[in-house]
Structure 1
């Protein structure tokens, strides 16, 4: 999957700006923006939480990205398929099934404590449709990759951004265009579920 930056921690993260101490603010503000936030110890716990979440929505089709870059996610997607769920991870399969998929599973590069936003590298088409089209968007992020505010986020993005698409995602899609009544899910996912993994090491 093509990205703005293939290795954000190594190439973009500025020492002193990215710190787990901003997690508390991120969790509070993301929750206030109507996201469901779960912090888990590792990808094994993340997989268990994901399966728990999926039971609620009983998806017939899932589109998922990030497995090529993250072996732990690739393993999770494979096991979901073995359980009988249709999980599409290839670029052209995602494009074909994006309009009908119930759930999209994607990744974020880091979070912003000040706003509870996720910073997503959505350079590729498949990453964009996975995070924008399905009713439910589940996002995996490293719980330690947090910055204090939007200024810090822009400093990090500025180190590597040349072209492409990066976005800030704050809660599920919402609008109040019609008679100033707040509606969720009009221009994107109705549900945003964040699974933040503390320890990424040793996952398979």
Structure 2
């Protein structure tokens, strides 16, 4: 036996047998999508407010604007937000700007807005991610420029993960842009110093209306 083979045999005798790794599970199951979404987004630095009805959602949103001392609020023009009718129910003076055709006016307003409010296209429970779509009446500026972004969604918009959503999502038209949001804006330098809110909102709040739990539609 050659010296090479003797050396390899010694190494082989001292090595432990390796176990085959478990197959990677690309799909996971969660018993409660709302709870999983809340846990995942909170772990990423976001906040989740869970309410049972649309009336409660409106009340909590207006209370949140008071807590933030928001005086300038940008709103996407979306059916869910129109239903909440926040400007009509506000109990104090707030300057509202609803997304329209004048992009220059919107950009100027959002640059000095305290809060931006959007609806959501869907949410991914596994990662605590809110998907926001841009297009007519739905501007990226509202979710990116103000220091606080509030996304409103219903529990029937929750799906397990990106794979499941992509499998079942059949858009009628291609959106101008899709933004996947998993918490406030974060960036880190080469020394791994984490900074919050440098390239986007420093606070991200998802308001979840749990229609699947018997809330009034």
TM-score (norm 1): 0.79
Whether 1:115 aligns to 2:124 is no
In the TM superposition, what is the alpha-carbon distance from 1:24 to its structure 2 partner?
Answer: 1.6
CA contact (8 A) 2:73 2:95 kept: yes
Of 96, 121, 124, 1:87 maps to 96
* CA–CA separation in structure 2 for the residues paired with 1:44 and 1:20: 27
CA RMSD of aligned residues (A): 2.4
Q: Assess, with a 3 A threshold, how the Cα gap between structure 1 residues 53 and 69 changes in structure 2: closer, same or farther.
A: closer
Out of 49, 64, 68, the residue aligned to residue 53 of structure 1 is 64
Cα distance in 2, alignment partners of residues 38 and 94 from structure 1:
27
If asked which structure has higher relative contact order (CA below 8 Å, sep 6+), I would say 1
1:146-187 Cα distance to aligned partner (Å, 9 max, x none): 111111122244554535211211101001125311111011
Is 1:147 the counterpart of 2:156? The answer is no
Q: 2:47 aligned with 1:36, yes or no?
A: yes
Deviation at residue 94 of structure 1 after TM alignment: 2.6
Of 40-49 and 59-68, more deviation after overlay is shown by 59-68
Corresponding residue of 1:64: 75
Does the residue aligned with 1:141 lie in a helix, a strand or coil? strand
**1:1-204 aligned within 5 A:** 21-67=32-78, 70-73=81-84, 75-80=85-90, 83-91=92-100, 92=102, 93-124=105-136, 126-157=138-169, 159-160=171-172, 162-177=174-189, 179-199=191-211, 201=216
Deviations 1:69-114 (A, max 9, x none): 65323x223223x621111114234333011101001111211011
Larger Rg: 2
Superposed displacement of residue 64, structure 1: 0.6
Structure 2 runs not aligned, ≥5 long: 1-29
What runs of 5+ residues in structure 1 fail to find an aligned partner? 1-18
